[in-house]
């Protein structure tokens, strides 16, 4: 049991609190993929928690910066701005973020780049929702995050991203088959 708790990141009280918050956020994001009514709220709220988790607990500027892009993407969805304006805003912020990350050495290897592209897939997928290709972008982002999590041996996020990817593929298939608007 102790090994499982340690595997999940529950080794100290602080780790346990932060990791619990991140798991709940990630599960909310997965549920959000399935929820037509609460999708944007759940995904954006989960991304806010993960951005704070990445910056404060993990001290990972790559993950934190790109989670902020996911949050901005969700906010752009809430504002119901035109897709053109939302994509232009996201593209501009993405360029600024990558310049910042590059100058700070946050993208240190190919796997970090793969992980960053995974979060971008999610950010741009969220802007595109509820169009079915938005779910494909998010699923592709999930696959890239699976690769990154495997590389950095973040097993919990490896498995959670598998569920996230499956949820997006499932929702995409429902839309493609006309089961969902």
Q: Read off the pLDDT of residues 172-181 as tens digits, 9 standing for 90 and up.
A: 999 888 865 4
7-43 pLDDT, tens digit each: 667 778 888 898 899 999 989 999 998 898 898 899 9
% of the chain with per-residue pLDDT over 70: 96
| Residue 119 CA from chain centroid, whole number | 5
Q: What is the structure's pLDDT at 180?
A: 54
CB-based contact 121:137 (threshold 8 Å): yes
Domain positions in the chain are 2-176
pTM across the whole model:
0.83
Residues 6+ apart with CB under 8 A from 123: 66, 69, 70, 72, 73, 90, 94, 141
Name the nearest CA neighbour of 160 among 8, 2, 5.
8
């Amino acid at each position: 049991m102790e090994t499982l708790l340690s595997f999940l990141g529950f080794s100290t009280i602080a780790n346990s609190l932060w990791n619990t918050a991140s798991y709940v956020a990630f599960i909310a994001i997965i549920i959000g993929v399935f929820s037509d009514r609460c999708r944007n709220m759940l995904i954006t709220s989960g991304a806010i928690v993960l951005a704070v988790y990445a910056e404060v607990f993990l001290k990972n500027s790559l993950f934190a910066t790109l989670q902020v892009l996911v949050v901005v993407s969700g906010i752009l969805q809430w504002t119901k701005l035109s897709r053109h304006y939302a994509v232009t805003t996201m593209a501009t912020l993405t360029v600024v973020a990558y310049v910042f990350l590059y100058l700070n050495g946050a993208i240190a290897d190919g796997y970090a780049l793969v992980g960053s592209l995974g979060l971008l897939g999610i950010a741009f997928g969220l802007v595109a929702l509820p169009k079915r290709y938005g779910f494909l972008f998010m699923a592709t982002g999930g696959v890239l995050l699976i690769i990154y999590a495997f590389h950095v041996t973040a097993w919990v996020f490896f498995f959670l991203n598998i569920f996230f990817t499956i949820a997006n593929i499932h929702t995409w298939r429902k839309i493609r088959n006309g089961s969902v608007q």
